[in-house]
Amino acid sequence: MADTLHLEIVSPERLLKDAEVAMVIVPGMDGDFTALPQHAPLMSTIRPGVVEIFASEGAEAERLFLKGGLAQISSAGLTILAEETIALDSVDSDDLAQKISDTREDVQDAKDDIERSAAETELAWMTALADEIAA
């Protein structure tokens, strides 16, 4: 169909979504972008954030948090290779706040740049998730 976009969201474990949709808003590394039917080819890394999937025009968005990944738009549609997805309604705010606090300590206590960088990466997606839940 020319008025829909084929969407696939794939995680390391399984195919999470395979559907025809009207529009998808993706948190690209250089800013959010909207994928529409007949979109020009594009490839982008994904920053931690929410992907919004609109099944039809005017429909309410299905929202999924992505830790990161890669998005590719081709003539076949939009494929998102997600590092990990998190359902926003499954997050315990108190548990997330504790994990953020612990990870901040890990950043400060890091023994070297590699350990610090890994902790900062974890902290980045956790704070992005906390911001989404608070919004």
The string of DSSP letters for 14-71 reads -EEEEEEESEEEEEETTEEEEE-TTPPPEEEEE-SEEEEEESSTTPPPEEEEES-EEE
* pLDDT at residue 123 tops 70: yes
Sort strands 77-82 and 5-10 into parallel, antiparallel or unpaired. Answer: parallel
Q: What is the pLDDT of residues 70-99, one digit of tens each?
A: 999 998 999 999 999 998 888 999 999 999
pLDDT band at 1 (very low <50, low <70, confident <90, very high): very low
CATH superfamily for 5-86 is F0F1 ATP synthase delta/epsilon subunit, N-terminal (2.60.15.10)
Residues 6+ apart with CB under 8 A from 52: 24, 25, 61, 62, 63
Q: Which residue has the tokens 């949709």?
A: 21
The pLDDT value recorded for residue 3 is 87
Which of 1 and 12 is assigned the larger pLDDT?
A: 12
Per the CB < 8 A criterion, the answer to whether 46 and 69 are in contact is: yes
Q: What is the pLDDT of residues 13-55, one digit of tens each?
A: 899 999 999 999 999 999 999 999 989 999 999 999 999 999 9
For the chain, the structural domain boundaries read 5-86, 92-134
